[in-house]
């Protein structure tokens, strides 16, 4: 019997994959299906929304959950966590579902006691999986199963589930969603998902199930074609987000007027992909779930932004946003990058908008193994080849790097911390 939270975490850490077993593929999905079957398939007891894509899927899933919480009790499962594993399993709208939120609903993490209870409950079933011919379950598979079980226990009206990696063989792909969301497709995790946009798109399109509604913001013609073909194969309805003639919002090629909870996803999606272009009179803010977003506040003097952009596409989107939103601010950027990413391309984008750069690092154990960043001195060397006249330095301790930046900044400056979600968690 596991009695403490630290014991529960240590139990799960036994299932962190080795480097040779980071992505178990089809066998992993079969193993997850077996585990869920042993648990009675709780993931089928409530409606779900499945959110995949290369970039923005976590934030999209979180805001969808917050909006749905204006009317429903909502479960949210995301990964990775920044500081504590309980962040991955949240409940939204549990205090007063159905009322207008005065502020953005951040959701409530599962408590440590509830987490311990789930680990004790699931442990004998995990033991059964271990003894099967399907191999050792992974950390992510077990935590995902715990989330599905917890949402059933909490009697949620609907759950929003973020894909871990890829789609087709991801542990979350044991659900039967009402809606599948594909935010976009870019080059990331190429060593696992494929070395072309098209191969990655085929994997991510694996979350499309028969007869469901698929909402996507992808732009590449070849990717749209892959998603169209998959939707046709599965008799699924596709809604593509496209710019409206005014450029101030997004419209849908198809917009079913369903009374179900899942139809409320669409106002958020329309909002999320064009937030920078919505004017002050934009009708999207009249939607009751979106109203809560107007109360989000940022700390100023100097403004500090923590951003998890961790691949070239995400960094480009970040850099473009910074240029448009803060065209006159002097920017100090604190950067650490996971050591398997395209650092040169990411730095090219970030250096363009930065007045000063501080390179730092991180190292931690995550559910996919030991995660390390580039040596910050190596990043400094790459940075020098891109913009040799830019002010750059190294501070290995990430927290000290932030303190250093704040102390030297003017009140009107912007401090941008980016390059990895793991860096954000470190800070």
Do 57 and 125 belong together in one domain?
A: yes
Residue percentage of the chain with pLDDT more than 70: 78
Average pLDDT (332-353) is: 92
The residues, ordered by sequence, that sit 6+ positions from 140 with a Cβ below 8 Å of its Cβ are: 79, 164, 171, 367, 368
Cα–Cα distance, 289 to 294 (Å, whole number): 10
Cβ proximity of 337 and 380 under 8 Å: no
Average pLDDT (177-195) is: 70
| CATH number for 329 | 3.90.190.20
Give me the domain span that covers residue 258: 5-295
- Residue identified by tokens 């500090």 is 304
Distances (CA, A) of 386 to 68, 124, 351: 45, 54, 8
Do 89 and 151 belong together in one domain?
A: yes
Do 309 and 216 belong together in one domain?
A: no
Cβ proximity of 156 and 89 under 8 Å: no
Cα–Cα distance, 141 to 129 (Å, whole number): 11
Domain's final residue, options 254, 272, 295: 295
Domain's final residue, options 261, 295, 329: 295
| Of residues 59 and 134, more confidently modeled | 134
| Of residues 390 and 38, more confidently modeled | 38
**Confidence at 422, pLDDT banded by 50, 70, 90:** confident
Is pTM beyond 0.85? Reply is: no
Structure confidence by residue, pLDDT tens digits, 119-145? 999 999 999 999 999 988 999 999 999
Cα–Cα distance, 96 to 98 (Å, whole number): 6
Cα–Cα distance, 405 to 397 (Å, whole number): 12
| Of residues 243 and 362, more confidently modeled | 362
Half-sphere exposure of residue 63: CA atoms within 13 angstroms, side-chain side? 22
The residues, ordered by sequence, that sit 6+ positions from 195 with a Cβ below 8 Å of its Cβ are: 187
Do 364 and 321 belong together in one domain?
A: yes
Do 198 and 151 belong together in one domain?
A: yes
Do 289 and 377 belong together in one domain?
A: no
**Confidence at 48, pLDDT banded by 50, 70, 90:** very high
Domain's final residue, options 240, 262, 295: 295
Do 39 and 173 belong together in one domain?
A: yes
| CATH number for 270 | 3.40.1190.10
Do 77 and 208 belong together in one domain?
A: yes
Would you tell me how many other CB atoms lie within 10 Å of the CB of residue 229?
12
Do 231 and 99 belong together in one domain?
A: yes
Do 198 and 165 belong together in one domain?
A: yes
The number of folded domains in the chain is 2
Do 260 and 365 belong together in one domain?
A: no
Do 124 and 188 belong together in one domain?
A: yes
Average pLDDT (174-193) is: 76
Average pLDDT (171-197) is: 76
Average pLDDT (398-403) is: 91
Structure confidence by residue, pLDDT tens digits, 288-334? 444 444 433 444 678 888 888 888 888 888 898 888 888 889 999 99
């Amino acid at each position: 019997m596991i009695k403490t939270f630290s014991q529960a975490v240590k139990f799960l850490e036994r299932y962190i994959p080795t480097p040779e077993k980071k992505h178990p593929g089809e066998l992993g999905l079969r193993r997850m299906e077996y585990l869920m079957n042993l648990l009675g398939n709780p993931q089928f007891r409530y409606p779900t929304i499945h959110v995949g894509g290369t970039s923005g899927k976590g934030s999209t899933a979180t805001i969808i959950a917050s909006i749905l919480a204006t009317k429903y009790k909502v479960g949210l499962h995301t990964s990775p966590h920044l500081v504590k594993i309980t962040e991955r399993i949240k409940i939204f709208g549990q205090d007063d579902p159905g009322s207008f939120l005065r502020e953005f609903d951040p959701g409530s993490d599962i408590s440590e006691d509830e987490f311990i209870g789930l680990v004790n409950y699931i442990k004998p079933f995990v033991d059964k999986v271990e003894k099967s011919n399907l191999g050792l379950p992974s950390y992510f598979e077990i935590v995902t199963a715990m989330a599905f079980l917890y949402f059933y226990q909490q009697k949620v009206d609907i759950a929003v589930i973020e894909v871990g990696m890829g789609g087709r063989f991801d542990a979350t792909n044991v659900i039967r969603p009402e809606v599948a969301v594909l935010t976009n497709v870019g080059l990331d995790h190429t060593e696992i998902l494929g070395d072309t946009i098209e191969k990655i798109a085929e994997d991510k399109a694996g979350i499309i199930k028969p007869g469901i509604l698929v909402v996507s913001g992808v732009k590449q013609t070849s990717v749209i074609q892959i998603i169209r073909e998959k939707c046709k194969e599965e008799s699924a309805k596709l809604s593509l987000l496209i710019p409206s003639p005014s450029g101030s919002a997004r419209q849908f090629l198809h917009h079913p007027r369903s009374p179900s909870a899942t139809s409320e996803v669409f106002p958020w999606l329309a909002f999320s992909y064009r937030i920078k272009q919505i004017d002050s009179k934009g009708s999207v803010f009249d939607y009751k779930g979106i109203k809560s977003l107007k109360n989000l506040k940022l700390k100023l003097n100097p403004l500090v932004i923590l951003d998890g952009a961790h691949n070239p596409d995400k960094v480009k989107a970040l850099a473009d946003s910074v240029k448009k939103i803060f065209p006159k601010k002097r920017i100090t950027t604190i950067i650490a990058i996971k050591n398997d990413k395209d650092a040169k391309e990411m730095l090219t984008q970030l250096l363009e908008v930065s007045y000063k750069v501080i390179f730092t690092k991180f190292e931690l154990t995550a559910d996919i193994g030991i995660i390390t960043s580039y040596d910050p001195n190596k990043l400094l060397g790459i940075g020098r080849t891109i913009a040799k006249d830019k002010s750059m330095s190294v501070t290995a301790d990430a927290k000290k790097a932030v303190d250093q930046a704040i102390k030297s900044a003017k009140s009107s400056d912007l401090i941008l911390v980016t390059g990895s979600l793991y860096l954000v968690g470190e800070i």
